[in-house]
Amino acid sequence: MVTLRKIDNTNVWEVCRLHVKKEQEDFVASNMESLAEAFAVRESGGVALPFGIYADDAPVGFMMFGYDVVPGEEGMPEIARGNYCIWRFMIDKAHQDKGYGKEALRLAIDYVKTFPCGEAECVYLSYEPENTGAAKLYHSFGFAENGETDGEEIVAVLRL
């Protein structure tokens, strides 16, 4: 069974040891970088919610949510205002192609539908144009591009 578990002192290091395949490294920041960014965003008054993705008791991935705009961050897509973001999403190279990513994305959508940080109309994410596998997964859940970009990444939105 796949679950999402908040990152705390009991699981931070096991999640930091997870890595994507070499050819995927340009698509997502390392979990260590993501957790450092989560700390900085929280210290700035923003929202960053990091979770480990688990298959039973084994860590298999990492996911991080955001909500609303990040204070002091420039160039965020307009869709960020008052909405949720699946900011980071990765499945460890040893655990890919087992259905964990699909189940984790379903859990992520269910989680944001509880509105843990406040009401929202949608959840968005962004992905590198070359990451066709991610695009296919996101589209299968109903995410659709809205014409915005986040840096060089394509923004896709799912209405809640």
Per-residue model confidence as pLDDT tens digits over 90-104 = 999 999 999 999 999
Structural domain includes residue 152: no
The mean pLDDT of 32-60, rounded to a whole number, is 96
Does some domain include residue 85?
Answer: yes
Is 44 in contact with 36 (CB distance < 8 Å)? no
Give 153: exposed, middle or buried? Use CB within 10 Å, 0-12, 13-18, 19+: middle
d(CA 153, CA 124): 12
Tokens of 147: 């014409």
- Residue 113: the pLDDT is 97
CA distance 115 to 119: 5
As a whole number of angstroms, the distance between CA 104 and CA 155 comes to: 19
Residue 160 is predicted with a pLDDT of 96
Mean of pLDDT values over 124-133: 94
Residue 105 covered by a domain: yes
The string of DSSP codes covering 45-71 is: T-EEEEEEEEETTEEEEEEEEEESPPT
pTM of the model: 0.94
Any domain includes 11 = yes
Question: How many domains, the chain?
Answer: 1
157 assigned to some structural domain: no
What's residue 71's pLDDT? 85
* Within-domain flag for 10: yes
Question: Could you tell me which of 114, 98, 36 has the C-alpha nearest to residue 61?
Answer: 98
Q: Is the pLDDT assigned to residue 20 strictly greater than 90?
A: yes
DSSP conformation letters of 103-154 = HHHHHHHHHHTT-TTS--SEEEEEE-TT-HHHHHHHHHTT-EEEEEEETTEE
Give domain status of residue 45, yes or no: yes
pLDDT band at 119 (very low <50, low <70, confident <90, very high): very high
The domain that holds 100 is classified in CATH as 3.40.630.30
Report the alpha-carbon distance of residue 146 to residue 95 in Å, rounded.
Answer: 31
Across residues 30-40, what is the average pLDDT? 96
Domain membership of residue 148 (yes or no) is: no
pLDDT of residue 26: 87
Query: Domain span at residue 50?
Result: 2-71+80-121
- The pLDDT value recorded for residue 52 is 98
CA R_g for the chain: 15
Give the separation between CA 144 and CA 138, rounded to whole angstroms. 8
